[in-house]
Amino acid sequence: MSTKAAHIARRVLIGVGAALALLVGTALGALAYLDHQLDDVDRIPGVFDDLGPRPERARTGTAPEAVNILLLGTDRRSDVSTTGDSAGAPAWVYGAQRSDAIMLVHVDGDREHVTVTSLPRDSWVEVPGYGSAKINAAYSYGGPALAVRTVERLTGVRIDHLAVIDWAGFHDLIDAVGGITVTVPATVHDSARDVTWTAGVHRLDGDQALDYVGQRYGLPGGDLDRVRRQQAVLRTLAEETMDLRDSPGTIVDFVDMVGDHLSVDDTWSSRQLASLAWSLRHLGSDDVRCVTVPVRALGRVGEQSVVWLDETRAARLWRAIRSDRLDPWLATHPPTDGATP
């Protein structure tokens, strides 16, 4: 990763993908300023109500001060936004959308590292009340609350907060920065969208970026390669917006725009958002790690293509997150480098 990219990677925290990265970047300003700017972020009510038994938080070391955030990007097809202040339709309607991007962000209790763990949307898991299904079905069946409950049941990690952005919001973020540049290493064809990605450098607008991060068919790793593309686009978008930290006026405009599309749970106050962002202002890219939950194999259940998680190795990852001791696990499971398939 370039030195320039290194300075921006710390922004990955509040929101799905790029929205999260940019909000954390505003920690360059004063805490009170952040508090004011984040006051417009839309809140999702009742996310943590009536979840039933929940994982306990570890009480030793730095674990009590750690923060775990579930980030979701939804594929809701709507003529108007479904997340953020500009939402003109509900964020969740039964059966109308699934969570295409699922990331568990762990902020260390000592604020020295942030680890982003991607969960492939096709992961075959137990969805409470519905039996075995792909993990992205939880949002479709029961909205944000069931998505949280499913991830907590799978990982044993207590989720502190939730952030959601729909694909319309992602699209607008890409266009707002004038597009992003990606490198495709080998020509691949997406049969689902009838799009061919030729090997080489591509400049993507919002529509093209949605096609790029949504591809699964035609990629050798299927859903796993889609996860890698999501991680890479997040980093690339952050690099494209590097100049925001040097332009206060642009920061204000961009934070306002992010607030138009990002939604968080209603227990997450503006002051808490601002305080967390401020506490991460000294992080560099070496302190932000992107990983994917260990996978045993790709397979099928009936007509569905699924991802079988490696429960043994994943259990060690979840234990490391719960105890706020990820370094030993990462020593044998290096973070991904953002390379795109």
Amino acid identity of residue 297, one-letter, is A
239: tokens are: 């690099």
Residue 17 lies in a domain: yes
pLDDT at 24: 45
Q: What is the pTM of this model?
A: 0.80
Burial classification of residue 312, based on how many CB atoms lie within 10 Å of its CB (0-12 exposed, 13-18 middle, 19 or more buried): exposed
Q: Would you say residue 132 lies in a domain?
A: yes
Is residue 317 a contact partner of residue 329, using CB atoms and an 8 Å limit? Answer: yes
The DSSP result for 208-270, as a single string, is HHHHHHH--TTSTTTHHHHHHHHHHHHHHHHHHTGGGGG-HHHHHHHHHHHHTTEEEETTS-H
Give the residue from 192, 292, 262, 267 showing the smallest Cα distance to 20.
262
Q: Would you say residue 144 lies in a domain?
A: yes
Beta bridge partner(s), residue 127: 131
Maximum alpha-carbon separation in the chain = 54
- Enumerate helices (H) and strands (E) in the chain, giving the number of each: 11, 15
- Asked, for residue 338, whether it belongs to a domain, the answer is no
CA distance 304 to 320: 31
Domain count, the chain: 1
* CA–CA gap between residue 136 and residue 238 (Å, rounded): 26
Tell whether 309 is covered by a domain: yes
Strand locations in 27-113, DSSP E? 42-44, 67-74, 99-107
- Cβ(263)–Cβ(165) below 8 Å: yes
- Residue 125: which H helix or E strand, with range? strand 124-127
What is d(CA 185, CA 179) in angstroms, rounded to the nearest whole number?
Answer: 19
Any domain includes 341: no
Domain CATH number, residue 83: 3.30.420.590
Locus of tokens 């729909």: 166
Rounded Cα distance between 103 and 70, Å, is: 6
**Would you give the distance in Å from CA 196 to the centre of its chain?**
26
CB 270 within 8 A of CB 41: yes
How does pLDDT run along the chain (341 residues), one tens digit per residue? 544 444 444 443 434 444 444 444 443 444 566 666 666 677 888 999 989 899 999 999 999 999 999 998 876 554 555 555 565 555 555 455 567 789 999 999 999 998 989 999 999 999 999 999 999 999 989 989 999 999 999 999 999 999 888 777 778 778 877 888 888 989 999 998 999 999 999 999 999 998 998 888 888 888 888 888 888 787 676 566 544 544 444 445 555 555 667 788 989 887 787 778 778 767 766 677 889 999 999 999 999 889 999 999 999 999 999 999 999 999 998 887 555 66
Copy the structure tokens of residue 60.
Answer: 């030793």
Q: Considering the domain boundaries, does residue 209 fall inside one?
A: no
Domain that holds residue 135: 3-171+244-332
pLDDT of amino acid 262: 77
The Cβ of residue 64 has, within 10 Å, a number of other Cβ atoms equal to: 11
Q: How high is the pLDDT of residue 251?
A: 47
